[in-house]
Amino acid sequence: MRVAVLASGRGSNLAALLEARSRGELPVEFVLVASDKATAGALRLAEAAGIPTLALAPRSYPDRRAFDRDLFTRTADSGAELLVLAGFMRILDGETLAPWVGRMINIHPSLLPKYRGLHTHRRALEAGDREHGASVHFVTAELDGGPVIAQARMAIQPGDDEDRLAQRLLSHEHRLLPAVLALLATRRLQWQNQAPQLDGQALTAPLVLGEQGLQHAE
């Protein structure tokens, strides 16, 4: 499967995908890594791996929709079949992304539908939650609102602050995203009738990341 990745930051989730591919766990070809920041570490990771890169400056466009249209046009030109948002910190125009619905996933650092948007770790702590986690979902026009495919869960510890919680969650994210992408790459997970299907059956609840990988929730 030909995959493009969008990232705004250092690219730790991209690194996890590249490592999974190197271990033979991901039958994918990364055809593009694109960013809205020319200094993004994800671009340097891609360059080192021999993956084509693209950096577009939002301020060079008259509005958000113009930026998104150019970004998605160039992504389509790369030949990508699937688009992975791995720390891409921009809200995308719903009309522009519509042709990609069912072919675009995002990893979000909360147990959706809790805490859409930013500052998820802080909000979980302020709410007194006992559990936190990450979700991978199909992207739709609704911010962090598309169907959730899978989640990784972990207990919040007494000594956790925002930074420590975020750091502890990363190791779970780095297992979760490759596991979901593997399901898509092997065609076990598909978008049918505006909803996710796993092995030909409707996915009615998010899969849960366990020691042995992704499992159905009990």
Q: 161: phi > 0 → left, psi -120 to 50 → alpha, else beta; which?
A: beta
Domain-wise residue ranges, the chain: 2-215
Distance in angstroms (rounded) separating the CA atoms of residues 215 and 218: 9
Angle value at C-alpha 17, between 10 and 176, nearest 5 degrees = 100
Which residue in 108, 121, 132, 137 is the catalytic one?
108
Active-site residue, 216 included = no
What's the chain's average pLDDT?
A: 97
Domain 2-215 homologous superfamily, CATH: Formyl transferase, N-terminal domain (3.40.50.170)
Q: Please say whether the beta carbons of 214 and 179 come within 8 A.
A: yes
Spell out a b/e string for 51-78, using b for 16 or more CB atoms within 10 Å of the CB, else e.
bebbebeeeeeeeeeebbeebbeebeeb
Distance in angstroms (rounded) separating the CA atoms of residues 161 and 164: 5
pLDDT band at 108 (very low <50, low <70, confident <90, very high): very high
State pLDDT tens for residues 158-193. Answer: 999 999 999 999 999 999 999 999 999 999 999 999
State pLDDT tens for residues 57-66. Answer: 999 999 999 9
pLDDT in the model for residue 218: 78
